[in-house]
Amino acid sequence: MSDARQNSANTANTAMTSPGSPALARSLIIERLVGDSGEAAQVTDAGRAMAERAVPLLQKGLTSELGVPVIVDLKEVEVSRVPEARSRAGDTFAMTVVGSPASSDAMTLVIDAPAIAIMVSTLFGGDPDLPVTPIERDLSPIETDVSTMVFQQVAQALNGSGRRSLELRLPAPRAMSGLEAKRHVLRDGAAIRIVLGISTPADSGTITIMMPQRVVLASRGGTANASEDNQGNEWRSRFSEEVMRSTVALEATMPLARLTLGDLAGLEVGQVIDFEETAQSRARLSARGQTLFVCEFGKLGQNYTVRIRHPYDAGQDFIDGLMPAGAGHA
């Protein structure tokens, strides 16, 4: 019974946040299934412009912290997914997640072991013209602190100012490493990956910045002129053609009957259970565990069919579930 109460509470929470229009419902359905995204070319253009503005600021900031110059260059800008932030970092890395008013994970930062080794060696007086000792173990507290300092410089450089600002919540949280960083759950969603190179004459490493596309696009729209704002609003309201072409498996289910726990426990092999009278008109169409539409079950020729009646309303479903069995069939 506790499970039943918990399910009812979860459904009630869903009902309270039920979208107010069919158009919004469709947007939320697609957002739940594939994640909000924009057209790939425009997303990468926005991310590249942001990174190119940040590189000189980051190089200046790191040089000020280290006391000697390091080379910062833009390696790559591409569309990706947020959980892939750690995919190329190797076994040893540091990571942090910076929030903003727009998103609790507005920026995920990952620095690999070679870049950490360069930063630590340079900060403590190492010769930048000589190779540094690779880090092939868990990070020490000092290495974690240095990684945090680097993340702060990266976040400040990318944050921007004025209408262009991402409004990141700075200072950046202390870096995670080891099992904590590997097990930290990153919320899935369409993202832009920016890879920066950190190098000296002898060594090189990388810093990966992963930002949800909606965060990048909102920032890009804030700096555009009136015509660009209109265009940005238009394409931000849509999903990329690539995403819309992706396929999902649909499932159609029909309610069978309402039974007491005693009746359910007494079922035997071969027993026949009748459908409720209204079951045919209450089929549900679902994808990836999310109910999308209420349908009517039928048959066309030799094929069984479902006809879409209306979008699924979680609030109404919750109310219907509170009514006693048979109350709707007076």
Rounded to whole angstroms, how far apart are CA atoms 59 and 53?
A: 11
Cis peptide before 171 (omega within 30 of 0): yes
Work out the number of other CB atoms within 10 angstroms of the CB of residue 251: 13
CATH superfamily to which 37-238 belongs:
CheC-like (3.40.1550.10)
Rounded to whole angstroms, how far apart are CA atoms 286 and 109?
A: 36
State the residue for tokens 């409720």. 276
- Give the contacts of 23 (CB within 8 A, at least 6 positions apart): none
* 194, β-bridge pairs: 77, 209
| pLDDT of 207 above 90 | yes
| pLDDT of 26 above 80 | no
pLDDT tier at 313 (50, 70, 90 boundaries)?
confident
- Give the contacts of 290 (CB within 8 A, at least 6 positions apart): 29, 32, 33
The proportion of the chain whose per-residue pLDDT surpasses 90, expressed as a percent, equals 37
Q: Is 231 exposed, middle or buried (0-12, 13-18, 19+ CB in 10 A)?
A: middle
Question: Which of 286, 105, 83 is closest to 183 using CA atoms?
Answer: 83
**Predicted pLDDT at 36:** 53
pLDDT tens sequence across 176-190:
999 999 999 998 888
Q: Which amino acid is at 10?
A: N
89 by DSSP, 3-state: which?
Answer: coil
| pLDDT of 246 above 80 | no
What are the residue ranges spanned by the domains of the chain?
Answer: 2-32+246-329, 37-238
**Predicted pLDDT at 38:** 61
CATH superfamily to which 2-32+246-329 belongs:
SpoA-like (2.30.330.10)
Which carries the bigger pLDDT value, residue 200 or residue 226?
A: 200
| pLDDT of 136 above 70 | yes
| 106 half-sphere exposure, CB direction, 13 A CA radius | 23
**Predicted pLDDT at 226:** 39
DSSP calls for 157-221:
HHH--GGG-----SSPPPPEEHHHHHHPPPPP-EEEEEEEEEE-SS-EEEEEEEEEHHHHHHHHH
Q: 254 and 279 in contact (C-beta within 8 Å)?
A: yes
Quick one: which H or E segment has residue 71?
strand 71-81
Q: What is the mean pLDDT of residues 233-245?
A: 55
